[in-house]
Amino acid sequence: MFLHIGKDQIIPNKSILAILDVSSIKESKEFITLIQKLKENNALFWVEGKEEKTFILVEDGETKGYFSNISSVSLAKRL
């Protein structure tokens, strides 16, 4: 199965490591470090503009991060 995370972007359910609410984690040191590493590897993507409600961490051969403007609760219900 696949998860639609906004616009025309879908990701395989089996590759999802985490679906996180950005407002609750954006200040944590671990999250900031992860974002920096993903940026360095060109593995950080915004699905619908720059509004960040949810962060999805994906592992499909390489680690990638997606910001979506769809709430984490809505995405979790789609699984």
Q: What is the pLDDT of residue 9?
A: 92
Residues of the chain with pLDDT under 50: none
Q: Could you list the residue range(s) of the whole structural domain that residue 38 is in?
A: 2-78
Report d(CA 40, CA 9) in Å as an integer. 22
pTM for the complete prediction?
0.92
Per DSSP, helices labelled H in 1-79 are 22-25, 29-40, 72-78
Tally of structural domains, the chain: 1
pLDDT of residue 40: 97
